[in-house]
């Protein structure tokens, strides 16, 4: 298969041509995301503040007349093909059941399954070729980028007429029920609704969202991503354990979700639950408040005012939610020591990436300090790059 040495739109087009012998009907793309703050609050019906990044996944798509769907990717050796009518068998809904396809294929096929479920769609067959520049396993939501690009293409080609918000929900359904990853809706919302130079303030209970200007360029600031190369996976046990603990905590406190608790409720929570469950709850409750405080700071004082909130968020994830790893802690500590205004791990944890809010003129100096700290600790060299808040899913061609 074609290797992703080309730009993703070129690689997807080339792979589609290799697969079918002709050009695609169109190219659709969706971005990865960085979560500025608000980690694990989404499935607790709380608040998050992500933004879409310029790194994108591209789906080259064309219709076929046999009712089958074939998906191929530059990061997989072989395509996967099934009949649309068989998707319900590919994705059993019993808890703990695994899809009968490779995990990478479960994302686009899961989107097709979720789109067709309960809808009177035509079910016209499709070929889909995927290429991406979003790092996999880095906590930048490469999965939501695949889902967003696929959902945008099928929504148009199948004439479904769904909104961007509805397509975000489709992506979450695919991730939760087809792939089996118990995530919230933050990633898909950021990928579908992102806008240049803005973060998305999302209420994960009401699904209300609004854009919050970041003003990074105006403030001469940059967001530096530090990909540790420690791979993480949402479908594995650590993520599920944290979600289960949150549900236990909500049940103990008699609320529908931890979103319903305030910082003032934590004293009572400490009396009613074991230490581990309490610390999981404390992270969610304080993280929700940090999201609200970050939005207020951005609106009144700008991005330079949020550094301490990022640092407090990382400490909470490290100590209370216990989802950081040594490489992430080293990245944060080294960035701060080199002058970053704030830094935190981002994403689901257990690996992935950290972000640092830095002076634009200091990106190289902070990057060098992080690389040196990793070398001193005996870790593999991280991948560092800056990201800009960017537009969400769209048709490219």
- Predicted confidence (pLDDT) per residue in 84-129, tens digit: 989 988 886 555 566 789 989 999 999 999 999 866 555 689 999 9
The mean pLDDT value of the chain amounts to 93
| Number of C-beta neighbours around residue 174 at 10 A | 29
For residues 7 and 375, is the Cβ–Cβ distance under 8 A? no
Q: Give the 3-state secondary structure of residue 79.
A: coil
Q: Which CATH architecture has domain 8-212?
A: 2-Layer Sandwich (3.30)
Q: Convert the pLDDT of each residue in 281-339 to its tens digit.
A: 999 999 999 999 999 999 999 999 999 999 999 999 999 999 999 999 999 999 999 99
pLDDT tens digits, residue range 180-232? 887 879 999 999 999 999 999 999 999 999 999 999 999 999 999 999 999 86
- CA angle, residues 201, 203, 205, in degrees to nearest 5: 165
187 in active site: yes
For residue 61, the cross-strand partners are 26, 128
Spatial separation of the C-alpha atoms in residues 375 and 330, rounded to whole Å: 11
Task: Answer yes or no: are the C-beta atoms of 314 and 332 closer than 8 Å.
Answer: yes
**Catalytic one among 187, 203, 244, 320?**
187
Which sequence spans correspond to the domains of the chain?
A: 8-212, 214-387
Strand partners, 202: 48, 209
| Beta strands in 125-276, from DSSP E residues, in sequence order | 125-132, 198-203, 208-213, 221-227
Q: Distance (Å, rounded) from C-alpha 229 to C-alpha 257?
A: 33
Q: Nearest-CA neighbor of 223 among 137, 341, 56?
A: 341
The predicted model scores a pTM of 0.89
What are the φ/ψ torsions at residue 218 (nearest 5 degrees)?
-60, -35
Question: Residue 321, SS3?
Answer: coil
Residue 208: count other Cβ atoms within 10 Å of its Cβ: 10
CB 9 within 8 A of CB 129: no
Q: Please, are residues 38 and 50 in contact by the beta-carbon 8 Å criterion?
A: yes
Domain 214-387 has CATH 3.30.70.890: yes
- Mean pLDDT computed over 144-153: 97
Q: Confirm if 71 and 87 have CB atoms less than 8 A apart.
A: no
Q: Is the pLDDT of residue 373 over 80?
A: yes
**Element (H or E) spanning 125, and its range?**
strand 125-132
């Amino acid at each position: 298969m074609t290797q992703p040495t080309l730009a993703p739109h070129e690689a997807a087009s080339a792979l589609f041509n290799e697969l079918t012998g002709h050009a695609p009907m169109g190219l659709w793309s969706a971005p990865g995301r960085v979560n500025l703050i608000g980690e694990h609050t989404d499935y607790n019906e709380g608040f998050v503040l992500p933004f879409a990044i310029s790194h994108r996944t591209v789906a080259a798509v064309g219709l076929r007349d046999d009712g089958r769907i074939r998906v191929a990717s530059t990061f997989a050796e072989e395509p996967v093909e099934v009949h649309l009518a068989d998707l319900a068998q590919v994705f059993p809904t019993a808890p703990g059941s695994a899809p009968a396809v490779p995990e990478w294929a479960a994302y686009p096929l899961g989107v097709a399954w979720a789109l067709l479920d309960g809808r009177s769609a035509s079910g016209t067959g499709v070929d889909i070729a995927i290429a991406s520049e979003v790092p996999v396993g880095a906590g930048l939501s490469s999965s939501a980028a695949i889902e967003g690009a696929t959902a945008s293409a099928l929504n148009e080609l199948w004439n479904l007429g769904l909104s961007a918000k509805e397509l975000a929900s489709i992506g979450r359904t695919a991730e939760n029920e087809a792939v089996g990853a118990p995530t919230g809706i933050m990633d898909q919302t950021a990928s579908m609704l992102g806008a240049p130079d803005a973060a998305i303030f999302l209420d994960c209970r009401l699904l209300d969202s609004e854009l919050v200007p970041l003003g990074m360029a105006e403030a001469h600031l940059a967001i530096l991503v530090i990909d540790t190369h420690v791979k993480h996976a949402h479908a594995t046990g650590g993520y599920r354990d944290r979600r289960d603990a949150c549900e236990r905590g909500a049940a103990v406190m008699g609320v529908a979700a931890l979103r319903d608790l305030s910082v003032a409720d934590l004293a009572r929570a400490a009396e009613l639950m074991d230490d581990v469950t309490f610390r999981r709850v404390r992270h969610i409750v304080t993280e929700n408040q940090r999201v609200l405080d970050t939005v207020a700071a951005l609106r009144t004082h700008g991005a330079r005012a949020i550094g301490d909130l990022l640092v407090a968020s990382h400490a909470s994830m490290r100590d209370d939610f216990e989802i950081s790893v040594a490489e992430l802690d080293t990245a944060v500590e080294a960035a701060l020591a080199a002058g970053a205004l704030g830094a935190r791990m981002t994403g689901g944890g257990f690996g992935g990436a950290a972000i640092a809010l830095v002076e634009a003129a200091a990106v190289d100096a902070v990057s060098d300090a992080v690389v040196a700290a990793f070398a001193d600790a005996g870790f593999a060299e991280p991948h560092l790059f800056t990201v800009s808040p960017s537009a969400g899913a769209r048709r490219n061609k």
